[in-house]
Amino acid sequence: MTQLRHLKRLLAAGDPAAFRSAFLELHSWEQAQFFLNLNRSERLALYDVLSASAVGNFFDDIDDDDQQIPNFLAEMRPEFAAQMLTEMYVDNAVDILEHLDKPTINRLLAQMPHQVAMDMRSLLHYDDETAGAIMTTEFIAIAANQTLASAMYALREKADDAELIYYVYVLDNAKHLAGIISLRDLIVNDQETLVQDIMNERVISVQVTDDHESVAQTIRDYNFFAIPVTDDENHLLGIITVDDIIDIIDDEAASDYSGLAGVDVEDTSENPLKAAAKRLPWLVTLLFLGMSTASLINHYESLVSEASVLAVFISLITGTAGNAGTQSLAVAVRRLAFPDQERSFVQSLLAELVTGVVTGVVTGVTITLVVGFWKHSFILGFVIGLAMCCAIIVANLAGSFIPGFMARLGFDPAVASGPFISTLSDLTSVLIYFSIAQYFIASFVN
């Protein structure tokens, strides 16, 4: 905070040299955080004292999902904004452009160098959440028949523009991806050796149309820093680096957590009225589902009147079943995000059934004993325990089946949110509870 205030004072003092000297000593991420804490007038002053290159350097570290980005670009001079985007890594710049309207995009691209604009246009055409949408075209490729000496020369020439230089990709005469060679291999081997003699021909790559979650899974499985992206004919189109994969994993984790909570957890600073507007549809929908539970309890009113002790345990059974369903849902969503290649959907469902039976039986026996000693009626305890056991099994199955079923239909499994599963569990738990109780009511009614 002290450093932040010091930089703000330098910016306000109108001493560009002193500000630039202090600001450029910061890491680019720290520069981005400083920028995000400025108001509009302070940002305008910053644009006047920093070059477009310096601004582009820290814009690479700003989350492209930040809702203020369109405003940031709108307050820059168009030529400054275009140059700033040109200085960024292509994939990061494209992520920003995707938040702008088409006229603004075209206006900015028109002021960029032709090749840069062409690269960005090509990436903008790919569908969201595909490998093509997150890849960068800033990579280093060499020919298979080059010597290591010439490959090193090419590496030095292109290194400044490449996003990652640890992997160098090898192309054949038809520009197909033929192999890969590491920076280490380039350094330690004899410089007169041909690239094709030492390159690794077994290249793990992804298709440009592959879903970004499957790309993330591949990079995680192989512990890659980057992975090449090819078309159907194995032409190298770009690479995806691990920093983009980390962003995807973070986004998916936030999406899954939002699904479990039934609310967008990333909108922490959102206007209260907008936040309420987004939450109300879920709450109203669940309200009507909850009314079904209330109607079911009302249907068994005569049973509750005859044995009022049953009402004591309604919330206990519904709450426990809801918790079990939410646990099962969390595991199911996680499994869908990172699939287990050794288990099919049916096998996963059967495994969750067994888990539900074990947890249901143990919980049921426990509550049977507790209620039996507490109410001096093991018949009542058995009714509560059996109902809880069955409710947990059903909730486990619902929590596991619904996300998988929705995924098979092409919907986001996170939509099967925790509140929805909990409310559905309430309905089924009450039905199970009173259905069992009515068969045993004569045994524990005084």
Report the topology of domain 2-125.
MgtE N-terminal fold (1.25.60)
**Residue 80: is its pLDDT beyond 90?**
yes
Comparison of pLDDT for 341 and 402, the residue scoring more: 402
- In angstroms, the Cα distances linking 320 to 260, 310, 387, 428, 435 are 17, 16, 11, 12, 18
Confidence at 40, pLDDT banded by 50, 70, 90: very high
pLDDT digits (tens, 9 = 90+) for 179-207: 999 989 999 999 999 999 999 999 999 99
- Range from 133-137, 264-268, 399-403 that averages highest in pLDDT: 133-137
CATH homologous superfamily of 141-242? CBS-domain (3.10.580.10)
Confidence at 315, pLDDT banded by 50, 70, 90: confident
Comparison of pLDDT for 164 and 446, the residue scoring more: 164
**Residue 413: is its pLDDT beyond 90?**
no
Domain spans of the chain? 2-125, 141-242, 272-444
Percent of the chain with pLDDT over 70: 88
**Residue 267: is its pLDDT beyond 60?**
no
**Residue 231: is its pLDDT beyond 90?**
yes
pLDDT digits (tens, 9 = 90+) for 111-153: 999 999 998 998 998 888 899 988 988 899 999 999 999 999 9
Rounded CA gap, 98 and 128, in Å? 10
Mean of the per-residue pLDDT values of the chain: 85
Which of 85-99, 127-141, 344-358 is predicted with the least confidence, judged by mean pLDDT? 344-358
> What is the model's pLDDT at position 264?
55
> What is the model's pLDDT at position 444?
58
> What is the model's pLDDT at position 432?
92
Class for domain 272-444, per CATH?
mainly alpha
Confidence at 43, pLDDT banded by 50, 70, 90: very high
Rounded CA gap, 340 and 342, in Å? 5
> What is the model's pLDDT at position 301?
83
CA 345 to chain centroid: 22
Which of 38-52, 60-74, 144-158 is predicted with the least confidence, judged by mean pLDDT? 60-74
**Residue 445: is its pLDDT beyond 80?**
no
**Residue 406: is its pLDDT beyond 90?**
no
Residue range 85-91: average pLDDT? 91
SS (H, E, C) the chain: CHHHHHHHHHHHHCCHHHHHHHHCCCCHHHHHHHHHCCCHHHHHHHHHHCCHHHHHHHHCCCCCCCCCHHHHHHHCCHHHHHHHHHHCCHHHHHHHHCCCCHHHHHHHHCCCCHHHHHHHHHHHCCCCCEHHHHCECCCCEEECCCEHHHHHHHHHHHCCCCCCCCEEEEECCCCEEEEEEEHHHHHHCCCCCEHHHHCECCCCCEECCCEHHHHHHHHHHHCCCEEEEECCCCEEEEEEEHHHHHHHHHHHHHHHHHHHHCCCCCCCCCCHHHHHHHHHHHHHHHHHHHHHHHHHHHHCHHHHHHCHHHHHHHHHHHHHHHHHHHHHHHHHHHHHHCCCCCCCHHHHHHHHHHHHHHHHHHHHHHHHHHHHHHHCCHHHHHHHHHHHHHHHHHHHHHHHHHHHHHHHCCCCHHHCCHHHHHHHHHHHHHHHHHHHHHHHHHHHCC
pLDDT digits (tens, 9 = 90+) for 234-254: 999 999 988 888 877 776 666
Question: Which of 110-124 are b and which e, b meaning 16 or more Cβ less than 10 Å from the residue's Cβ?
Answer: eebeeebbebbeebe
